[in-house]
Amino acid sequence: MLGDFIDIKKDCIGIVGRSFALSALSLLLHESSREAAGVSIEAGVLIDEAGSPLQDGHDFPLYADVGSMLSAHPAIEMVFELSGEPELVGSLRASLPPEVALVELPAARFFLRLHATDRLWIACKANLMQTQALFKSVVDQFPEDIMIVGSDGLILDCNNHFAERAKASIAELQGRNPLKYYDSLSSLCPLKGGYIDVPAMQRHNEELMFSESDEHGKMQYYRLYVYPIIEEGSDNVVQLVVICRNITERTMIEQRLQQSERMATVGELSAYIAHEIRNPLMAMGGFAKVLIKDESIDAPGREKIQIILEEAQRLDRLLKSILSFVRSRDVEKNNIDVNRVAADAMQLLSLGCQLQEIEVEMDLDPFHPLGVGGAEQVRQCLINLVKNSMEAMPEGGRLKISSGISGKHVWLEVRDSGPGISDDIRSHVFDPFYSSKVNGNGLGLPMVKKIMEEFGGGVELASRPGKGTSVALLLRKAPVA
């Protein structure tokens, strides 16, 4: 309502005073235009120290006296007297018509101070908006989720990265419960009625690491930070800054380093144990072969000796697998057609899939991508993966073999419709000697991973309980000839 009253019409004024006063008022009111804040300087009367009229280079017309100014500009409603001389003030009081108001020097000073304050407020507001826009643009560039939680425990603001991950606009997210998006916050913050109790927060930073499966079933690792904002002049926590950073790549590198260290230790120990066991095992197997040929031993005895011989052979195969796993090898690398590798592997396994009622789909890249590796080793790795999928689908299911190119790698993927792998098991599937199978030795997937890394590639696994599992073999893309 006040704004409507102020904006009813433009105020036309005339000014009387010395040159510097007229220039200062003109500059303050309209530095870039003839009008400012609804005030228009129509004309002026310039006086010297003695009170005689003068002419000067102003951007509005000047007159010899006030009467001439009012006659030429009947729209003038106020006259600003800026000299403060008593005689001139008295003369203006007596001569101005009743429809023209006289604004004397004290009132003019108040008006000018008020106007200057208004201009300063506008400048500060513009500067604040510019700073906020700059801060917002910087925060929106961060590749991590950032949100501000208000004292009521609800989202006050957030950056675009979080809005995109939450699949909602910033306006839609404001006022929502942050626990809906990060239930791990309940481990860092006190709760009250299902919301974060911000005033009860400790006055120091909190953080934790958590993991979850993404929409593709791949494990993602995050670090969550909570920073309390303290009210100035008190110890009260009034807001929280919550930052969630995806640390999957760094975590995977750390896990590979840790696994390499474990592998070195396990390798030394395994090689020693395998060597110590293999010698007596060979003796046991040798004696069993001799005894089984002894005609003086009856049939039940021969059966027992046969069991000893078969178990000795099984242990020998296991020891060979362990030694093969821990030994470093110089692998021969060639440019191989991964489509051909997939076709050869499935030719060996197709009958088993048919007998098990597994529907096989081959979705191979028509451009026959070439990777750097060994055809026989990669084929064996693929066979290992397919056998794992077959074991996961004893009652039948769907199996899809795909190939393609992604960035600097070519890939072969095995995807099944089995029960999937839980998060706690998935984090250990590449650990040597770890197996969820009753008769497994825990060397299958670790061996696959080791072989692929020796070729400069790797293995990627994605799985969700009830949604099946996919494992991709990655090879470096062969250079173009």
CATH topology of domain 2-120: Rossmann fold (3.40.50)
Residue of higher predicted confidence among 378 and 24? 378
Predicted local distance difference test score (pLDDT) of residue 74: 92
Are 397 and 358 in contact by the 8 Å Cβ rule? The answer is yes
| Per-residue pLDDT at 437 | 66
Q: Is 167 left (phi over 0), alpha (psi -120 to 50) or beta?
A: left
For the record, the structure tokens of 329 come out as 């090898």
To which H or E segment does residue 279 belong?
A: helix 248-292
Give the type of residue at 317: R
What's residue 211's pLDDT?
Answer: 80
Q: Which is more confident, 135 or 90?
A: 90
CA distance 391 to 385: 10
Do 2-120 and 142-246 have matching folds? no
Confidence of residue 248 (pLDDT cuts 50, 70, 90): confident
The pLDDT of residue 423 is: 77
- Under the phi-then-psi rule, with left for phi > 0, alpha for psi from -120 to 50, and beta for the rest, what region is 7? alpha
**98 pLDDT exceeds 50?**
yes
Please check the confidence at residue 348 and state whether its pLDDT lies above 50.
yes
- Model confidence band, residue 324 (pLDDT cutoffs 50, 70, 90): low
- Look at residue 99 in the predicted model and tell me its pLDDT: 92
Rounded Cα distance, 138 and 377, in Å: 49
Give the residue-averaged pLDDT of 291-320: 82
pLDDT at residue 481 in the model: 63
What's the pLDDT at 212? 78
pLDDT band per the 50, 70, 90 thresholds, residue 326 = low
Taking the C-alpha atoms of residue 406 and residue 408, their distance in angstroms, rounded to an integer, is 6
Question: For residues 52 and 470, which has the higher predicted lDDT (pLDDT)?
Answer: 470
Give SS3 for 84.
coil
Using CA atoms, how far residue 127 sits from 72, 122, 173, 214, 326, in Å, is 42, 9, 27, 42, 65
How would residue 30 be classed by pLDDT, with cut points 50, 70 and 90? low
Structural tokens at position 255: 């896990």
Pick the CATH number of 334-476 from 3.90.650.10, 3.40.50.1820, 3.40.50.2300, 3.30.565.10: 3.30.565.10
CATH no. of 142-246: 3.30.450.20
171: pLDDT strictly greater than 70: yes
pLDDT of residue 389: 92
Residue range 154-162: mean pLDDT, rounded = 90
Provide the residue ranges of all domains of the chain, joining segments of one domain with +.
Answer: 2-120, 142-246, 252-326, 334-476
First-to-last CA distance in the chain?
78
Q: Give the residue-averaged pLDDT of 471-476.
A: 93
pLDDT above 70 covers a percentage of the chain that reads: 86
